[in-house]
């Protein structure tokens, strides 16, 4: 007999990342993975290279230097920060620590797919609350809470829609949830937001024992290849997660590069300004073409295409033939849409020009 995986594992649809290759021999413009086109801070790159001198040593298991850097920049207590191999690992650790077979994990309709995958991996049921106008609906989430709900995941801003809910709505959601349910606020795109009514949720963590925020260095900081993220959580949750995470779950190069990146606030500020300029430009140009980009405060736009010959699938094929790679989002329940990352100026202009040709 061959080994048999735990119940439900074989039913999981593996996560598929954004494509990186197009037609052989064609120059690739990759706008499929919400990567920053500006790369990483020069200070982060220098710190990464310096760390190469100590590759024969184990990393600091507590990632103290990175936790201290995050704490200084975001004004948070370093002892309540945990670092992980991307925020993905921390999502998984939360699920494995607090969710069992038969429990429920509650997500929004178009929420990040890894919430579902981690929940299924422990035999939990995934409950999806409908959204309103591609936006997390607090009332719908609260209506789907049951005695079996253990964690509510809310991406804010959300991927792939780009939408967000306000600070008051997030506070209302927390207040409406029973105290035994964890509210996990995933802020992978927090640094891009310019909205005055937006919150990353840190004030909710400080005032409760059942709220956590998750962040990543894969987006505005430009460090996805080294897999580094962090979580700010109440002390009791930190204690639980530290008991089950790997003792050396993040590498020394990742710790040092991320610490330098978070402290290079000028680089981050410039990256944010660049994105917001071209996000607005791309939104305007897509509308001129008769397409429907949804409002976004991230570094991407979810774009709805018409049916028929100008459908999203035909548009994707046309773009791929010409080396422009975007993200199909049918697996998020959005078969008529494509998600387009904001790139360099020449990439953005190439995208609009090619779509214009396609739509003629």
Give the pLDDT score at 7: 76
Give the model's pLDDT for residue 207: 85
pLDDT higher than threshold 90 for residue 104: yes
The reported pLDDT for the residue numbered 212 is 98
Confidence of residue 335 (pLDDT cuts 50, 70, 90): very high
Residue 28: pLDDT over 90: yes
Checking if the pLDDT of 25 tops 80, the result is: no
- What pLDDT, on the 0 to 100 scale, is given for residue 259? 98
Q: What pLDDT is recorded for position 11?
A: 81
**With left for phi above 0 and alpha for psi between -120 and 50, is residue 6 left, alpha or beta?**
beta
Tell me how far apart the alpha carbons of residues 85 and 230 are, in angstroms, rounded to a whole number: 8
Task: Give the model's confidence band at 263: pLDDT under 50 very low, under 70 low, under 90 confident, else very high.
Answer: very high
Of the candidate ranges 12-21, 36-45, 141-150, 207-216, the one whose mean pLDDT is the lowest: 12-21
Tell me the per-residue pLDDT of 183-196, one tens digit each, with 9 for 90 and over: 999 999 999 999 99
Residue 14, pLDDT score: 79
Percent of the chain with pLDDT over 90: 92
- Taking residues 273-284, report their average pLDDT: 98
Instruction: Answer yes or no: is pLDDT of 9 > 90.
Output: no
Model confidence, pTM: 0.94
* Distant-in-sequence, close-in-space partners of 154: CB < 8 Å, separation ≥ 6: 107, 108, 111, 136, 141, 165, 170, 173, 183, 184, 185, 186
Overall average pLDDT of the 280-299 stretch = 98
Q: How confident is the model at residue 87 (pLDDT cuts 50, 70, 90)?
A: very high
**Per-residue pLDDT, 291:** 98
- 13 pLDDT above the threshold of 90: no
Whether the pLDDT of residue 18 is over 90: the answer is no
**pLDDT at residue 6 greater than cutoff 90:** no
Rounded distance between C-alpha atoms, residue 113 and residue 109, angstroms = 10
Please give the mean pLDDT across all residues of the chain: 96
Residue 105 confidence (pLDDT): 98
Domains of the chain and any CATH numbers: 9-39+266-359 (3.90.1150.10), 42-264 (3.40.640.10)
Residue 17 has pLDDT above 80, yes or no: no
Asked if pLDDT for residue 132 goes beyond 90, the answer is yes
pLDDT score at 12: 83
């Amino acid at each position: 007999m061959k080994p048999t995986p735990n119940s439900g594992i074989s039913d999981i649809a593996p996560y598929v990342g954004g494509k990186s290759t197009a037609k052989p021999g064609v120059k690739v413009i990759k706008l499929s993975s919400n990567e920053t086109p500006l790369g990483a801070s020069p200070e982060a790159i220098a710190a990464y290279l310096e760390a190469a001198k100590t590759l024969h040593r184990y990393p600091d298991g507590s990632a103290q230097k990175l936790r201290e850097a995050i704490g200084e920049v975001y004004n948070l207590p370093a002892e309540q920060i945990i670092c992980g191999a991307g925020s993905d690992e921390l999502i998984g650790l939360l699920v494995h620590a607090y969710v069992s077979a038969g429990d429920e994990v509650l997500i929004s309709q178009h929420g990040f797919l890894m919430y579902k995958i981690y929940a299924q991996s422990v035999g939990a049921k995934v409950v999806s609350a409908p959204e309103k106008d591609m936006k997390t609906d607090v009332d719908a989430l609260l209506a789907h809470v049951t005695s079996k709900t253990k964690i509510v995941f809310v991406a804010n801003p959300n991927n792939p829609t780009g939408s967000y809910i306000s600070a008051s709505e997030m506070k209302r959601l927390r207040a409406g949830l029973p105290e035994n349910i964890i509210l996990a606020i995933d802020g992978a795109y927090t640094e891009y937001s310019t909205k005055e009514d937006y919150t990353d949720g840190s004030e909710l963590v400080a005032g409760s024992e059942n709220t956590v925020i998750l962040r990543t260095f894969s987006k505005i900081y430009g460090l996805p290849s080294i897999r580094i993220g962090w979580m700010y959580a109440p002390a009791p949750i930190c204690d639980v997660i530290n008991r089950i995470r790997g003792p050396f779950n993040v590498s020394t190069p990742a710790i040092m590069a991320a610490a330098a990146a978070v402290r290079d606030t000028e680089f981050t500020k410039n990256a944010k300004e660049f994105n917001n300029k071209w996000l607005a430009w791309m939104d305007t140009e897509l509308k001129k073409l008769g397409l429907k980009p949804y409002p976004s405060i991230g570094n991407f736009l979810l774009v709805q295409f018409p049916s028929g010959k100008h459908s999203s699938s035909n548009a994707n094929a046309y773009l791929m033939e010409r080396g422009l790679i975007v993200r199909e989002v049918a697996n998020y329940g959005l078969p008529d849409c494509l998600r387009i990352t904001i790139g360099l100026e020449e990439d953005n202009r190439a995208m609009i020009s090619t779509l214009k040709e396609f739509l003629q």
